[in-house]
Structure 1
Amino acid sequence: MTSYDIAGQTVTMPVQVRDASAATVLYEVDAAAAQSLLPSDAFRIVENEPGRAHFALVLVDYRDNDLGAYHEVGFTFFVRPAAGGEDGTFITRLPVDQAFTCEAGRTIWGFPKTIERIDVENTETSTTWTLIVDGRQAFTVRAPRGGTDDTPAAPMAAYSLIGGEPHRTTFTQGGRGSQVVFGGEGVELTLGAGPIADELAGLGLPGAPVVLTTWTERMQATFEDAEPVK
């Protein structure tokens, strides 16, 4: 069983998420613009149709997790290793608001976590997240909240770079109190200033089409150790 020493604490694999809420806003964007944000030519953007790709803005409120309680915002693309292999996700930015999970995510999986301020406001039907970087609003996004469906746990692949080398992490995610809303109903994105806002604008946001949104009120997940891509 693999373990890591993170800030004087032992983290044993796999990492368990016992309770969290998660929202996803899935946009359709220009594939070339998406490819330009990948930090390595080891991965290729998966096109959902010629010249088009999907970008997922993922918002997670971790309440009970081996890495602590924290908020997280993920910029996620769907990729395939250039050498061939299974399609998966690649995260280009992953702001969090706690130091321990930042160090753990960078050390264990090579995820590009940074420590930022993340403000969250929930109502019965919406969740609103504001990312503040260097004292400036990067963006504010509102997404639908609610649902009664169950989402069976399913394994997925997340790719990253550790020491510049491609790695693959298997993670399993599911939960209760879920919904899928097709189209952009209930979504509002306002860009602020700075590099993150500029990246989103370069993808065509906030005007890019919203494919769908998801919400899971009670999400559980398991993250395995990262393994080199063969």
Structure 2
Amino acid sequence: MRIRDAAVASAMFAVPADAARAVIAYSGLDVAEPLPGRAICSLAFVRYADGDLGPYHEFAVAFLVRPPGSPPPAGALGGLRAMAGAGAFIHWLPVNQEFTLEAGRTIWGFPKEMADISMDLAGRVQRCAVRIGGRTAIEVAVRPGAPVPGGSAAPRVEAYSCMDGVTRRTPWTVTPSDVRMRPGGAKVVLGDHPVAEELRSLGLDRARALSTSTVGHLRMSFEAAEEVLR
């Protein structure tokens, strides 16, 4: 499956590892800890303009995780090794179109659900709000940073997901352009939806982002999903 053009804004946060571990325990995976006791949670919103699943909006909550079966890294360089070998576990993935919802759930086992996702990627601050059943789950604002030279991003991502007790791995290949990054630069507001309470348990309404990034144009390809845990 190919995405020919998308735009992305994202923010990375250091959150308590035990809290993150509790959130994703159902997957059988464990979080990576770049620093002892800290895990990485990423919030991202994506506007898909041209792709095999049609145009749609998407929001993602993801965690850096260790590959299944890998031992916890030890030693002074353990945190760096954890980051280098980590994959992205997609914990929550609301979308605003039915076709991508069904395809994502049935083909790759991505935890997609329908939501009202409003998005503004044209202003000086890029914004997204996710509402489900009339209740606000989350609002995120990202302030773009400085341009990043091309070729600095990793071309391949190991994405993990879990549905109905089955954990799968899906390799992605990504080609970004018009990339900007900065330290900090994000504001998160959590609402009264149950998902907001889960995110609040991670401290995301109080934490300062480690970094934020925006991608003006992104091309991606998704390979077939592979079952790794049941």
**TM-score normalised by the shorter chain: which range applies?**
0.7 to 0.9
What displacement does 1:165 show? Answer: 2.6
Match of 1:104 in 2: 103
Secondary structure (helix, strand or coil) at the match of 1:107 reads helix
Where do 5+ consecutive residues of structure 2 fail to align? 72-84
Q: Mean alpha-carbon deviation: is it higher for 31-40 or for 141-150?
A: 141-150
Q: 1:41 to 1:76 in 2, by over 3 A?
A: closer
Distance 1:136 1:48 in 2: 34
Q: TM-score if structure 1 supplies the norm length?
A: 0.87
Where do 5+ consecutive residues of structure 1 fail to align? 1-14
Q: 1:114 to 1:19 in 2, by over 3 A?
A: same
Residues 37-86 of structure 1 deviation map (CA, whole Å, 9 limit, x = unaligned): 11525211111111101100011100001011000000000112442285
Match of 2:175 in 1: 174
Match of 1:154 in 2: 155
CA RMSD of aligned residues (A): 1.8
Distance 1:134 1:17 in 2: 29
Secondary structure (helix, strand or coil) at the match of 1:217 reads strand
Q: Which letter does structure 1 place at the counterpart of 2:35?
A: E
Q: TM-score if structure 2 supplies the norm length?
A: 0.87
> Are 2:145 and 2:213, in contact at CA under 8 Å, matched by a contact in 1?
no
Match of 2:114 in 1: 115
What displacement does 1:156 show? Answer: 1.2
Match of 1:222 in 2: 221
Secondary structure (helix, strand or coil) at the match of 1:210 reads coil
Match of 2:89 in 1: 90
Higher strand proportion, which one?
1
How many residues of Structure 1 are paired with residues of Structure 2 in the alignment?
214
Match of 1:23 in 2: 9
Runs of 4+ more than 6 Å apart = none
What displacement does 1:174 show? Answer: 2.0
Match of 1:12 in 2: none
The percentage of aligned residue pairs carrying the same residue is 36
Match of 1:68 in 2: 54
